[in-house]
Structure 1
């Protein structure tokens, strides 16, 4: 595995790859890698000749400075995991490398995606996400970019970025990887106790209930039943639970058979904010 820490070194290497007409896939991460991230790399290996995994804790997408400070950065372990799955390239830049002092201001018109759900709860977050992803896209010039379904709204935001900038990049959405109790794998899970992880498995049960009865019950009834599953566990605090049309993420009050739908869920467990979703159609 090649390891690069500067844009210039990575660009020089990838220029040679392109000369050989090899297909490049990009897997952007913030490190603290787990099986979910590694599944993205494995998926990318099936559809590209060379896989570039970036590891960069992006400061512009954090609203809370203490959250940025606490974010885990186990670089040595991350590199070991990438080598084990035979990733081709790891790109690990510094903040100074990605955000030079001559940085231009950034704003992308994300429409309603920036006003609802994660956009409302974390103002400016998606501007930070699109800013760093666009930097990586321009640097790597991938044929395909792999993102996990777990951050579904983020995936829709990245698709909007690709559309607005008219980038020749295919977006590949990889399924959420879960543990044996259904909890979606996340770097934040390391901050949960075993009891907390057990309680958090209610997120999957709640989403699964919505999926199972989606075509059979009134949505208001279904939503209440899903909330009851969550509230049955003590010390779970629900931030939001919504059943939405999957592209616009607008909440629905009836099912449109011509569209696809998704359930979005955010719950706090032991002071840790957990995000999950499930495609319903």
Structure 2
């Protein structure tokens, strides 16, 4: 497994793959890897000849300095996991490497995608996400980029980046990896106690209930039932719960059979912000 810490080292290593016309996949991560990330590496291995995994805690997508400071960075364990799963290349840059002083200001017109849900709750977050992903796309020049469905709004934002910049990379969206009980795997789960993890299973029960009944019940009633599931568990602070059209992420008050829909959910358990979603159709 090659480990590159500079852009120059990475590009030198990738030159051979490009000359051999090998298919390159990129899996961008912020480290603290778990089975969800490793499933993306495995997905990438099925559809590409060379897999690049980047590990970079990107400062421009954090609007809370404390959240950035607390973000786990178990580098040694991450590298061991990637070695075990057979990843080809790990890109492990510093902040100075990715954000040199010569950088130009970044802004991408994300439209309403940036104004709702995560965009509204975390101003500037998706500008930071698109900035770093664009840098990685320009550097790696992947044929395909693999992202997880768990960060659904982020995936829609990356698709808009690809459309706006007319990039040749294709998106491969892998299903959310869950524990046997249904909890969506996340780096933030590391901060939950065992009791907190059990409590968090209510998020999956809410989404599963919505998926089972969204075609047969009106959405107002369904929302009330979902809130009752959370209240029954107790000590879960709901930030938002919405049923939206998938591409625009605009909330809907009825189901349009000609469109696709997704349920989005964010809640706090033990001071940890948990994000989850479920595609309904």
TM-score normalised to structure 2 length: 0.99
Correspondence 1:4 to 2:4: yes
How far apart, CA to CA, are the structure 1 residues paired with 2:115 and 2:107?
14
- In the other structure, the counterpart of 1:210 is 210
Number of aligned residue pairs? 281
The equivalent residue for 2:53 is 53
Matches within 5 A, 1:255-274: 255-274=255-274
2:151 is matched with which residue? 151
- Give the equivalent residue in structure 1 for 2:188: 188
- SS of equivalent to 1:215: coil
Stretches (4+) displaced over 6 A: none
Q: CA RMSD in A?
A: 0.5
CA distance in 2, matches of 1:222, 1:18: 51
Partner of 1:242: 242
5+ residue gaps, structure 2, are none
User: What is the match of residue 160 of structure 1?
Assistant: 160
Q: Tell me the secondary structure at the aligned position of residue 21 of structure 1.
A: coil
Using structure 1 for the length normalisation, give the TM-score: 0.99
How far apart, in 2, do the equivalents of 1:167 and 1:34 lie?
A: 29
Paired with 1:85 and 1:225, the residues of 2 have a C-alpha distance of 41
How do 1:214-233 residues align onto structure 2 when only pairs under 5 Å count? Answer: 214-233=214-233
Partner of 1:126: 126
Q: Which string of whole-angstrom CA distances, capped at 9 and with x for unpartnered residues, describes residues 51-86 of structure 1?
A: 000000000000100110010101000000000000
Structure 1 unaligned blocks of 5 or more: none
TM-superposition CA deviations, 1:93-138 (whole Å, max 9, x none): 0000000011110000000000000000000000000000000000
* Comparing 33-42 and 228-237, the one that deviates more: 228-237
Residue 25 (1) aligns with residue 30 (2):
no
